[in-house]
């Protein structure tokens, strides 16, 4: 095995699962709320790591900037994703 492959194998793996607008109580208080999310419960609560108290969002609170902030650990002013628009420098996909 070459050194590059060895380096890749030694890195920690992280899987970020984000469900837009899924409030913590829907996961942690399912019985009280009459909600049943068995797969989410098994994967995230029983076998994973969760932010039980939720997390502080960023501004603007659109999906793309929020997810980019979670992934990079930086705010929109740093990573540059400030809305849900797509990068379309040729203008071919406007409104898509």
- Residue ranges per structural domain of the chain: 15-55, 56-96
User: What are the tens digits of pLDDT across the range 20-41?
Assistant: 778 888 888 999 999 999 988 8
CA count, 13 A, side-chain hemisphere, 60:
9
Average pLDDT of the chain is 80
* Predicted local distance difference test score (pLDDT) of residue 79: 92
* Predicted pLDDT at 6: 59
Write out the H or E segment, with its range, that includes residue 5.
helix 3-10
User: Please, are residues 76 and 68 in contact by the beta-carbon 8 Å criterion?
Assistant: yes
Burial degree of 34 (CB within 10 A; 0-12, 13-18, 19+):
exposed
**pLDDT given for residue 88 in this prediction:** 79
CB 50 within 8 A of CB 27: yes
């Amino acid at each position: 095995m070459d050194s590059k492959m060895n380096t890749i194998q030694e890195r920690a793996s992280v899987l970020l699962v984000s469900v837009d607008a899924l409030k913590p109580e829907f996961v942690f208080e399912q019985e009280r709320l009459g909600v049943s999310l068995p797969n989410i419960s098994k994967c995230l609560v029983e076998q994973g790591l969760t932010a039980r108290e939720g997390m502080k969002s960023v501004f603007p609170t659109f999906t793309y900037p929020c997810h980019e902030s979670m992934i990079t650990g930086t705010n929109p002013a740093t990573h540059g994703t400030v809305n849900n628009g797509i990068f379309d420098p040729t203008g071919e996909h406007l409104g898509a």
